[in-house]
Amino acid sequence: MDSDLLISSRFIDAHPVDAARILERLPVEETAPFLQQVSLPLAASVIAPMTAMTSAGCLTAMDPAYAGSIVARLPLDIAALFVRRCAETTRESILAAMPSDAASPLRSLLDFPEGTSGSLMDPRVFTLFEDDLAREAVKQIRKRPEHLIYYVYVLNREQAFRGYTTLRELMLATPASSISYVMRTDMGHLSPRLQRIAILRHPDWQRFHALPVVSDKGLFLGALGYQTLRRLEHEEAQGRRTESAQEAGAALADLYRIGLAGLLRWVASAANAPSEERE
């Protein structure tokens, strides 16, 4: 690795957001080749804070295999946001180059309209069946802890959402207890087609930091977590500020036009008045 690339890599590692801002100022034709020279973790860390259009442009300009490796390292909802911006042929090339365990959940998000809870959820969260035993459930969790969040969602054998439990409750349960005895059923759920405002206004966010996404037929599809909620709130607040600024600008423009029109009318009337009135 040459010295310039080494320095750049260290800067990205320490300041990924600042690095993203700098790279966004460059043409995609320069940014994409550069990202293919740094390590995959660094490329993913710096492409994630970029605008969706810039990220999509970079992914499009890259070799599909490398682009797929970067996308596989991104948070799932961010990955879906970027891949949606790519042309269909590019999107399919990227998905085809990804490992199936990363491409499959990403495809499920892309099936839902952008901005809905179905497009934002994580379909990989850990689930248990209500007739599982606590001791077996703990063994399963130890084998696959990577998608475990605070809640463990409980389903029946038809894949319908039944309730939830927590890792603490599982650890304290009698090993031979059925999950149905330790699960709770007081958690609401989100429809996969809920829009942003309805997601943010769901009352159960006051009690839970991740909510299940459930189909009209009651099937468990995934979960929408607290970090995604915070991002939606931030984007909504930014949108309101932009809208307020636009409204203020329009109001000032109207006032300017009204004032200018009044001034012109006064000048015209003064010019047309008889000379003795002006003396």
* 53/43 Cα distance (integer angstroms): 16
CA distance 198 to 209: 16
Instruction: Give helix 28-35 / helix 40-47 axis angle, nearest 10°.
Output: 140
Most confident of 148-152, 172-176, 249-253, 271-275: 172-176
Q: What is the mean pLDDT of the chain?
A: 86
Same domain, 239 and 194: no
How high is the pLDDT of residue 278? 47
Note the pLDDT tens digit of each residue in 3-49.
888 888 999 999 999 999 999 889 999 999 999 999 999 999 999 99
- Does 121 map to a domain? no
One-letter amino acid for residue 166 of the chain: T
Q: Are residues 20 and 55 in the same domain?
A: yes
Give domain status of residue 53, yes or no: yes
Which residues span the domain enclosing 242? 230-278
- The pLDDT > 70 percentage for the chain reads 85
When mean pLDDT is compared across 30-44, 160-174, 253-267, the lowest value belongs to 253-267
Domain count, the chain: 3
Instruction: Kindly state whether residue 91 falls inside one of the protein's structural domains.
Output: yes
- Determine the Cα–Cα distance for residues 253 and 251; give it in Å rounded to an integer: 5
Average pLDDT over residues 152-161: 93
* Selection from 191, 193, 192, 223 nearest residue 208 by Cα: 223
Residue 92, in any domain of the structure? yes
> Domain for residue 159, yes or no?
yes
What mean pLDDT comes out for the span 219-232?
91
If you average pLDDT over residues 203-227, what whole number do you get?
93
Q: For residue 190, is it within any domain?
A: yes
More confident residue, 78 or 238: 78
Looking at residue 237, its amino acid is A
**Predicted TM-score (pTM) of this structure:** 0.66
Please indicate, yes or no, whether residues 30 and 12 belong to a single structural domain of this protein.
yes
pLDDT in tens, 191-210: 999 999 999 999 999 999 99
Q: How far apart are the C-alpha atoms of 208 and 219, rounded to whole Å?
A: 20
Same domain for 146 and 99: no
Per residue in 116-144, pLDDT (tens digit) is 999 999 988 889 999 999 999 888 888 87
At residue 67, does pLDDT exceed 70?
A: yes
- What pLDDT shows up at residue 51? 87
- Judge if 179 and 245 occupy the same domain: no
249 pLDDT tier (thresholds 50, 70, 90):
low
CATH number (domain holding residue 95):
1.25.60.10
What is the end-to-end Cα distance of the chain in Å, rounded?
85
Classify residue 183: in a domain, yes or no: yes
- Choose among 261, 166, 252, 273: nearest CA to 209: 166
Question: DSSP letters along the chain, please?
Answer: --HHHHHHHHHHHH-HHHHHHHHHTS-HHHHHHHHTTS-HHHHHHHHTTS-HHHHHHHHHHS-HHHHHHHHHHS-HHHHHHHHHTS-HHHHHHHHHHS-HHHHHHHHHHHTSPTTSHHHHSBTT--EEETTSBHHHHHHHHHH-GGG--SEEEEE-TT-BEEEEEEHHHHHHS-TT-BHHHH-B-----B-TT--HHHHHT-GGGGT-SEEEEE-TT-BEEEEEEHHHHHHHHHHHHHHHHHHHHHHHHHHHHHHHHHHHHHHHHHHHHHHHS-HHHH-
Mean pLDDT of 75-96: 92
